[in-house]
Structure 1
Amino acid sequence: MTIEEVREMALPATGRSGSGGDAVLAAFLDLTVPEGYRAELIEGEIVVTPPPDGDHEDILGRFVRQMIRTSPAELYSSGAKGLITPAGRFIPDLTVGPEGVFAGKDSWFVPDGVVMTVEVTSSRPDKDRGPMRRGYAAAGIPFYLLVDRTEGTVTLYGEPDTEDYGRTSGCRSARSSTSRSRSRSPSTPPPSADPRPGAPHTSSVSRGRGASVRPVGGRRLPAWYGRGQGAPGPE
């Protein structure tokens, strides 16, 4: 089934239930996309993403390098594993877990044992900021790292429950993305951010029930996270 054939079914899928949702899932699993493209089922909508640009991959490469160098635990990562979550079927930019977490798994699997997912924003940043974050939390994945190239921020989410993550901590990138610099001077910090490059700040994320997430307090973060200018972030 081609993208054009399935798109008409997929777009109104958020209002469907029962057999309609099953039909969309079946169409999604039968979907054929061009080489290098990625198809995901996000809250009932089939989203097809083109291959990422070089800066996107550079950020992921630096993240993996730091993880290997500084993590006290031996962790494996994959950029092509399909995860089955309560909010749909996602393919994170990176899926991180202990040795053996991917062994013997099908192309789509329930993320038991996965310790972190990583997303770097590209053509659909709204999906990374909301639906995918909530899906990873609902799946019980302990940490979600979001590198937002548009906002120029790096945010680590933790303490998941069935609706969202309960805590968050982050920092502002030393340099903003190209799209951000067009609309705001690089010397102008985002709202509520420390103007010093790389300085930590806390974010408030709507959880859909009037509450806000809180900054990470006593919870220990991965060893490679938050080391000033060494933290992975947008160029």
Structure 2
Amino acid sequence: MEPMSPWCSPVRTRTVGLCIGIFDFLFLTGTFLKSVQFLQLYGFNFFATAAVSSIGVLYAVHILCILACWYGLARQRSSWLVPKIVLKGTTVLICVALTLILAFFVSSNSPIIGNSIARGFNAEYYDHRAVIDMACLVIVGISTGLSMAQGWLLVLLINIYRQIREDELERLCEKALKKLAKRDQKKDQKKKKDQPQPKKSSMANSNGRILSPDSRENSLDPAASFTTFI
């Protein structure tokens, strides 16, 4: 026997999808509040403004996709999970890109990227080089862990989508088979109604017995009747 799939239970599928939505909502809420706090602390510089704007847009879109995902889980409709999967894939790509850029900066100590980061905070790179390098190293570790976590959630969402899609296809096949069975039954009933009834070729005698055509001819022949009588 093949091992049972962990996604075969609709209750388990809904529970996992609900947990993913709650995790994303809490994580994005905390990230958005931190970006607002970062903006209040450092003022309207380039990085603070960009962080609040991008995270705010991502936060609003994620809430809509989470609601759509929950609706799809409740109604067992896989199409409502597609926006969440696409957005989750975009989030994974952004996290991976940010990780690679910061990892390249930490490993190469590129002054171009360092000056860009320092200019975004209205500071000089060589005066705050140690702080910027340490902050980038911490962000690389956080973004790496975040990329792995978001990638794992993306795999879970894809598995949930596949399971719900399989259930949808099974329901559609069952409905199609029921319609075909009803149509065949109606055709059989119509054929039976349209089929001509066979004509009765025999007659009943005086005693109520059915006589075949040969018997009727013999009954009309006087010699045969006399022989039968004897």
Q: Higher helix proportion, which one?
A: 2
> If the length of structure 2 is used for normalisation, what is the TM-score?
0.25
Higher strand share: 1
TM-score by length of 1: 0.24
Greater gyration radius:
2
